[in-house]
Amino acid sequence: MNRELIVRSSSNAIDFALLKDGKLTELHKEEDSNDFAVGDILIAKVRKPVTGLNAAFVNVGYEKDAFLHYHDLGPQLASMLKFIKKVSTGKLKDYSLNNFQFEEDIDKNGSITDVIKANQSLLVQIVKEPISTKGPRISSELSIAGRYLVMVPFSDRVSVSQKIESKEEKDRLKRLVRSIKPKGFGVIIRTVAEGKKVAELDKDLQNLLNKWSVMCDKIQKAPHPSKVLVELTRASSILRDVFNDSFTGIHVDDETLFEQVKDYVHEIAPEKESIVKLYNSSVPIFEKFGIERQIKTSFGRTASMSKGAYLIIEHTEALHVIDVNSGNRSNKAKNQEDTALEVNLLAASEIARQLRLRDMGGIIVVDFIDMGKGEHRRRLFDHLRDEMKDDRAKHKILPPSKFGLIQITRQRVRPEMNIKTSEENPNGSGQEVEAPIVLIDKINSDLEKLLKGPAKDDGIILNIHPFIAAYLTKGFPSIRSKWFLEHKRWVKIQPRDAYTYLEYRFKNKDGKTIY
Mean pLDDT of 330-358: 83
Mean pLDDT of 83-88: 89
Q: Before 225, cis peptide (omega within 30)?
A: yes
The reported pLDDT for the residue numbered 417 is 67
Backbone angles phi, psi at 163, to 5 degrees: -75, -15
The reported pLDDT for the residue numbered 455 is 53
Q: Predicted confidence band at 423 (pLDDT cuts at 50, 70, 90)?
A: low
Query: Residues 253-275: pLDDT tens digits?
Result: 988 888 888 888 887 778 888 99
The reported pLDDT for the residue numbered 428 is 66
Paired residues of 303 in beta bridges: 311
pLDDT at position 349 over 70 = yes
Q: Predicted confidence band at 334 (pLDDT cuts at 50, 70, 90)?
A: low
pLDDT at position 67 over 60 = yes
Task: Give 221-248 as a DSSP string.
Answer: T--SSEEEEPPPPHHHHHHHHH--TTEE
Q: Predicted confidence band at 32 (pLDDT cuts at 50, 70, 90)?
A: low
Calculate the alpha carbon distances from 455 to 493, 505, 513 in Å.
16, 14, 11
The reported pLDDT for the residue numbered 328 is 61
Query: Residues 152-191: pLDDT tens digits?
Result: 999 989 999 988 889 999 999 999 999 999 999 999 999 8
pLDDT at position 283 over 90 = no
Interior CA angle at 92 toward 87 and 93, to 5°? Answer: 105
Q: Predicted confidence band at 418 (pLDDT cuts at 50, 70, 90)?
A: low
pLDDT at position 230 over 70 = yes
Contacts of 280 (CB under 8 A, 6+ apart): 253
Closest CA to 462 of 486, 444, 477: 444
Backbone angles phi, psi at 505, to 5 degrees: -145, 145
Mean pLDDT of 472-497: 88
Mean pLDDT of 324-328: 79
Please give the share of the chain, as a percent, with pLDDT higher than 90.
31
Give the span between the Cα atoms of 375 and 382, in whole angstroms.
Answer: 11
Handedness of CA 155, 161, 167, 168 (dihedral sign): negative
The reported pLDDT for the residue numbered 147 is 85
Lowest mean pLDDT among 72-86, 122-136, 272-286: 122-136
Indicate the pairing of strand 319-325 with strand 310-315. antiparallel
DSSP 134: B
pLDDT at position 393 over 90 = no
Q: Predicted confidence band at 329 (pLDDT cuts at 50, 70, 90)?
A: low
Mean pLDDT of 307-313: 84
Closest CA to 124 of 185, 58, 78, 187: 58
Please give the share of the chain, as a percent, with pLDDT higher than 70.
90
The reported pLDDT for the residue numbered 422 is 65
Q: Tell me if 33 sits within 8 A of 24, measured CB to CB.
A: no
The reported pLDDT for the residue numbered 124 is 92
Give the span between the Cα atoms of 230 and 211, in whole angstroms.
Answer: 10
The reported pLDDT for the residue numbered 168 is 93
The reported pLDDT for the residue numbered 453 is 63
Mean pLDDT of 85-110: 87
Mean pLDDT, rounded, of the chain: 85
pLDDT at position 111 over 60 = yes
Q: Tell me if 69 sits within 8 A of 51, measured CB to CB.
A: no
Q: How many residues does the chain have?
A: 515
| Segment of 43-47, 424-428, 510-514 carrying the highest mean pLDDT | 43-47
Lowest mean pLDDT among 25-34, 378-387, 395-404: 25-34
Q: Predicted confidence band at 456 (pLDDT cuts at 50, 70, 90)?
A: low
49 CB-side CA count, 13 A: 15
The reported pLDDT for the residue numbered 502 is 83
Through-space distance between the first and last CA atoms of the chain, rounded to whole angstroms: 39
